[in-house]
Amino acid sequence: MSQDGPLTGAALLELLSRPAPEVAPRLLGGLFGHRNGEGAVVLRITEVEAYGGPDGSDLPDPGAHTWRGRTARNASMFGPPGHVYVYFTYGMHHAVNLVCRPEGTAGGCLIRAGEVVEGAALARARRAAGRARPVPDAALARGPGNLAKALGIDLSHDGAPLAAAEDTAAPGFFLRPARPESGAPVGSGPRTGVSGAGGTPEFPWRWWLLGESSVSPYRPAVPRRRR
């Protein structure tokens, strides 16, 4: 893992206190990791999406879980910054967001994909569960559900804090954003699988590192069929 020194805790909170569309591109190329009793898995972020707040807020986002206001499920998205918001979707996948904005103002960045740079054997074992074939390294953390599984993330981690540097002994999450001058080519466009106005080019809030094999393919939302 070759990166410059991590941001201080104060600098990390300053970054995450900004609106998610400002924060998300800064996360690309940075390191995000999770350590538990099984060990640590760390990835280099290659794809991320930004999400805003409720209708009537200063950053209304019809594609966000926060659109209809605060609930027990989305409470972590309302702050404070520097925590994670974990949710369960489609009855089978977990996904992890990094919470942005000052407490009481909703926002977050969904970590969609990454390249595993530490703990690949552990990530591979987690992804192999229930599968007949091994998962290619480039696909270990491709897509938010696969990423959460590779990192060992579930609903018990909702609201957990982020550290600015990895503690090699303590369990938890850490984030080390890339330096702004990293200069990697970046693509942007509509968010994946988001229905309604929130999934249109009006919200080009998905960013990814161009040429990275770990980036997930773009898929528009599929309208639900009425029974």
CATH at 189: 3.10.300.10
> Which residues form the domain of 69?
9-209
If we measure between CA atoms, which residue out of 70, 96, 65, 59 comes closest to residue 172? 96
Q: Assess if residue 107 is contained within a domain.
A: yes
Higher pLDDT, 66 or 168: 66
In a domain, 16, yes or no: yes
Residue 9 burial (10 A CB sphere; 0-12, 13-18, 19+) = middle
SS3 157: helix
Residue 153 in domain: yes
The rounded distance, in Å, linking the Cα atoms of 201 and 197 is 9
Domain assignment present for 143: yes
What's the pTM?
0.93
118: in domain: yes
Residue 122 lies in a domain: yes
Mean pLDDT, residues 19-28 taken together:
96
Q: How far apart are alpha carbons 152 and 87 in whole angstroms?
A: 13
- Per-residue confidence (pLDDT) for residue 223, from 0 to 100: 67
pLDDT, the chain, mean: 92
The string of pLDDT tens digits covering residues 83-109 is 999 999 877 899 999 999 999 999 999
Domain count along the chain: 1
Instruction: Please name which of 2, 42, 70 lies closest in space to residue 141, comparing C-alpha atoms.
Output: 42
**Mean per-residue pLDDT for 161-188?**
84
Establish if 1 belongs to a structural domain.
no
Task: Specify the pLDDT at position 1.
Answer: 43
Domain assignment of residue 129, yes or no: yes
Q: What is the pLDDT of residues 183-197, one digit of tens each?
A: 779 999 999 999 999
Share of the chain above pLDDT 70, in %: 93
